[in-house]
Amino acid sequence: MSDPWSPKIASFIVQALDLELEPAELMDEIVALKRDETSGISAVELQSSIGPAPFLVYHYHIGNGRRARFDADVAALEKAAALETPGPRIVAHAVTEDEAYIRATTPSVQRTLTSQPESAPRRPPVPTGRARTSVPDRLVDKLREANRLAGDWLTAIRSGGVEGEELSLTEQEAALALFLLDEQSIRDLLQALNILLTSARNQTNQM
């Protein structure tokens, strides 16, 4: 089924980024995450000066005085940025007579695109002995907890009879999806797991 919002979102992105392409060329890249009568959320990955960059686009019908949701979302995103809490960061927004749009991305992508320094320095290195003894135990606990939460989420989704591409994401799920689209978000975790698994396989093969 055709999505009436995709052409409008494509036009907003082309104008906001001053892209040298037609909105129709961008429509296939827009992924609908949520749609209802007055608002929705879409995801799109665009090439930028830092490589592929993920974005969320929030869009709203604001005709007949219905802009309270848009204003509340802008305020919430701006407050999150001021407090440096996790979650999407506003990159641009636009308002017309009947519609409004917000383009957002992850904190790390926003900082890179705007050449802002990291909000806080990286944590000081953990002593090697501690890193190789206590940290793995904590990492196991965190991974088990994350896997349990993922299982709870999957159970809830499946009990609702929704699978795969049929899922209409909540705002919180869309924010999580954006976080995962940013390759920097869990880069250290993936690198650590890769080293651990590779080392374990090599030791097994040597036995």
pLDDT-derived band at 87, boundaries 50, 70, 90: confident
Residue 109 C-beta-side C-alpha neighbours within 13 Å: 29
pLDDT of 111 strictly over 80: no
Of 128, 127, 150, 130, the closest CA to residue 138 belongs to 130
pLDDT in tens, 20-65: 889 888 888 888 888 888 888 988 888 777 777 888 899 999 988 8
pTM of the predicted structure, to 2 decimals = 0.63
Answer yes or no: are the C-beta atoms of 41 and 21 closer than 8 Å: no
Please count the other Cβ atoms lying within 10 Å of the Cβ belonging to residue 188: 10
pLDDT for residue 64: 85
pLDDT for residue 102: 93
pLDDT in tens, 151-160: 998 888 888 7
pLDDT of 119 strictly over 70: no
pLDDT of 120 strictly over 60: no
CA-to-CA distance for 19 and 16, rounded, in angstroms?
A: 8
pLDDT for residue 37: 80
Residue 120 C-beta-side C-alpha neighbours within 13 Å: 7
pLDDT of 189 strictly over 60: yes
